[in-house]
Chains A and B, each alone.
Chain A
C-alpha cells in the first residue's frame, strides 16, 4: 500500500502576497477562512491556536518559519490521534508573486512518521502485556 506522507496543493489567488500573508498570519485573517477563532504569536517558536466550533476542536500549533511575505510554517497535532501523542505534521505555506496575484502552495508532511516507541508497542509480543502488568502489580505491592 502506498500511503501519502506529504500532501501538496497550489492555488492561484487574485490578491498580492501582502494580503495573502495577512490572511495566513494574523488572528483576524485565520479566523476569516480557516478556524472560527484564532490566536497567534507570530514568531518562530511562538504558539498559535485555532478552534473549529462545528467539530468542537482546538488545535495547538507551534510556529516554525516566519519569512514575510514568502514562507509561513507551523507544526500541529495529527487529527484523530490521541491528545498526548507526540507526533505532529509540518505545514508550510509558500507565497510567490504571480502577475498581480499570488501563487500559494501549501504542503503538509509527516503523516508517515512512526516513532520508535509506537513501532515497538505495535509489534511487541502478544504475551508480554500480561507479564508487564503483573510486574507492575508486584512493584506496587512491594512499594506499599
Chain B
C-alpha cells in the first residue's frame, strides 16, 4: 500500500471516528445528495455544526459539493476513499485460523483410521 493509500484510509477512519460525521455520511449514503439544511432537519444538531463537519468531510474528499436547487450547495458522498479504507478492513477481517482449524478436523474425520506412526505427543492419539 503506497503511503497515499494510507493517507486516504486514515482520513476515512478519522471521519468515521466522530458520531456526527458518521451520521452525516450515513444520511448521504442512505438518502443521496443533500444540503446542510436537509441534513440538519434529520439530525439532532444545528445547521452550523453540520456545515462545519461538511467542510471537514469535503476537505478530506469524502463528500463533494455541487450546485443544488435554489443556488443551495448540495453534498454528495464520494465512495472512492471508502473503497480504499475497505481494503484495509478486508485484511484485518480475514480469518484463516477458523478454516485451518476446520481443515484439521476434516482431515481427522476422513483420514485413514489406522495411523502407522502415531505421534505420542498428540493428545488425540
Contact = CB atoms under 8 A, between A and B. Distances in A.
Nearest to A6: B91
Contacts of B117: 99-100
Contacts of A9: 96-97, 100
Interface residues of B, number: 52
Given A19-B107, A100-B117, A7 B5 contact: no
A87 B83 CA distance: 11
B44 interface: no
A80 B107 contact: no
Contacts of A106: 96, 100
A120 B60 CA distance: 14
B86 A81 contact: yes
B16 interface: no
A99 B67 CA distance: 70
Contacts of A140: none
Which of A20, A118, A126 has most chain B Cβ within 10 Å? A126
B38 interface: no
8 A-B pairs closest in CB distance: A112-B1, A33-B106, A111-B91, A121-B80, A130-B66, A122-B80, A33-B102, A100-B117
Interface of A: 1, 3-5, 7, 9, 11, 13-15, 19-20, 23, 29, 32-34, 78-82, 85, 87, 99-101, 104, 106, 108, 111-114, 118-119, 121-124, 126-127, 129-130
